[in-house]
Amino acid sequence: MVRQWVRGTGLRIAECDGRPVGASVIVGEPPAHVRPTVLRETYLLLLISDRDAAGHGIGSSLVSRAVSDARDNGSEVLRVDCWADAPDLVAWYERQGFVRSDTYTVDAPGGWNGQVFELKL
């Protein structure tokens, strides 16, 4: 999967003082566990940041870039999902302008609940 991301056009790396501190990947359709939308979408498939650099706006910067890229791609909505049982994470996405739109459950050993968000563009 990582090879696909590197070969594609949606991988972004955030750097601070020449070292990577975050990454994001956008794609044109949702992962299999998320119901598609009728809107033309970009999906923020991966968003990760270095916890040692927490509080420096890395995630917010990567979300802003994803919004810009999604608009450039002609998308009507940017969507993302996360673990629904992490209230701080859910609140963080809401502070970025996303609204809750759907939920899902991963039905596997150690399964978990997911929250889907969308940001209309």
- 14: pLDDT confidence band, cut at 50, 70 and 90? very high
pTM more than 0.75: yes
What is d(CA 33, CA 35) in angstroms, rounded to the nearest whole number?
7
- 41: pLDDT confidence band, cut at 50, 70 and 90? very high
Per the model's pLDDT, the better-predicted residue between 5 and 14 turns out to be 14
Contact 116, 101 (CB under 8 A): yes
pLDDT at 106 over 90: no
What was the pLDDT predicted at 101? 97
What was the pLDDT predicted at 53? 81
Instruction: Note the CATH number of domain 2-120.
Output: 3.40.630.30
